[in-house]
Amino acid sequence: MSETLAAARAEFTKMRAVRATSVALLLFAAVSVFIAALGGWSAKGAIESDNPGLRSDFTPEQAGLDGILYGQLALIVFGVLMMSGEYTSGMMRVSLLAVPRRGRLYLAKTAVTAVAALAVALPVTVVSYLVTQLALGPHGSTFDADGVPRALAGAVVYLTLMSLLAVGVAAAARSAVLPLAVLLPLVLVGSQILSVIGATKEVARWFPDRAGAQMLTVDSGDALTGLLVLLAWTAAALTAGWLRHRSWDG
């Protein structure tokens, strides 16, 4: 056990030592809060000018969760980089010399990714929500409005699971390029587009990000289903990554 703990502490140090992973985390915070502020500020303008451009289903509570939906891209990049860094320049060999048990290394890495994502997602989610409300001014809602605490908690879990999904995909692909090329467009536009096209709508509902988004939808009746679907995706990705990692030979 203490060896696994040492491996996890080492992964934490490694995470901080690699600049790209730290940058991705900072970017997640910056983008989320910035979009949250921008969204709140522009919605306030729209409300006060009776702008029809405002979405019909606009609520200040839900608007408070928009920022992290964009910020999550950086968190996915973070998850991918946490793993893919091992496949550049022979780093994996060094890591396996230090921690030769395949399972221990993989566990340490996923655990550190989860803890780091969680630790950052929690304050960023809360701050983003508050920033949006602040920007909305008189139209803003409160922290304890109906369904909000649950949606915020759902958002934190969602973000953590998405970063773990990214770890699993990167481990399965043993690279950064492929996972990023699949995950980022999927989250950014793919499933949004698919979910408005009638034929693919049903399918898109089961995509990890679409399903997971129910968790951070205020008053969604499907939050639990969303959680289970995203959990299944994450578990599948981590398992695929584990199988690929376990067979590492070289």
Partner 1 sequence: MLAERLTKRYGPATVVDDLSFTVRPGVVTGFLGPNGAGKSTSMRMLLGLTRPDSGTATIGGRAYRDLTYPLRHVGALLETSAPHRGMTAVGHLSWLARSNRIPRRRVDEVLDAVGLTGAARKRVGTFSLGMGQRLGLAAALLGDPPVLVLDEPVNGLDAEGIRWLRELLRAKAAEGRTVLVSSHLMAEMAQVADELIVISRGRLLAETSVSEFIGRHGRTFVRVRTPEPLRAAQELQAKGATSVRRAADGGLEVDGLPAGEVNRIAAAAGVPVEELSTHTGSLEETFLKLVDDGGDPTHV
Question: Which residues form the interface with partner 1 (CB under 8 A)?
Answer: 3, 6-7, 9-11, 13-14, 16-20, 85, 88-91, 93-94, 96-101, 249-250
Minimum gap (Å) between residue 189 Cβ and partner 1: 29
Closer to partner 1 by CB, 12 or 41: give it: 12
Minimum gap (Å) between residue 88 Cβ and partner 1: 6
Structure tokens at 161: 């699971």
Closer to partner 1 by CB, 104 or 150: give it: 104
Residue 163 near residue 78 (C-beta atoms within 8 A): yes
Minimum gap (Å) between residue 83 Cβ and partner 1: 12
Closer to partner 1 by CB, 139 or 244: give it: 244
Closer to partner 1 by CB, 102 or 139: give it: 102
Closer to partner 1 by CB, 70 or 78: give it: 78
Minimum gap (Å) between residue 4 Cβ and partner 1: 11
Minimum gap (Å) between residue 125 Cβ and partner 1: 28
> With helix as H, strand as E and coil as C, how does the chain read?
CHHHHHHHHHHHHHHHHCHHHHHHHHHHHHHHHHHHHHHHHHHHHHHHCCCCCCCCCCCHHHHCCHHHHHHHHHHHHHHHHHHHHHHCCCHHHHHHHHCCCHHHHHHHHHHHHHHHHHHHHHHHHHHHHHHHHHHHHHHCCCCCCCCHHHHHHHHHHHHHHHHHHHHHHHHHHCCCHHHHHHHHHHHHHHHHHHHHCHHHHHHHCCCHHHHHHHHHCCCCCCHHHHHHHHHHHHHHHHHHHHHHHHCCCC
Closer to partner 1 by CB, 57 or 249: give it: 249
CA neighbor of 92 nearest in space, from 208, 179, 174: 174
Minimum gap (Å) between residue 79 Cβ and partner 1: 16
CA neighbor of 120 nearest in space, from 81, 154, 159: 159
Closer to partner 1 by CB, 14 or 210: give it: 14
Minimum gap (Å) between residue 22 Cβ and partner 1: 9
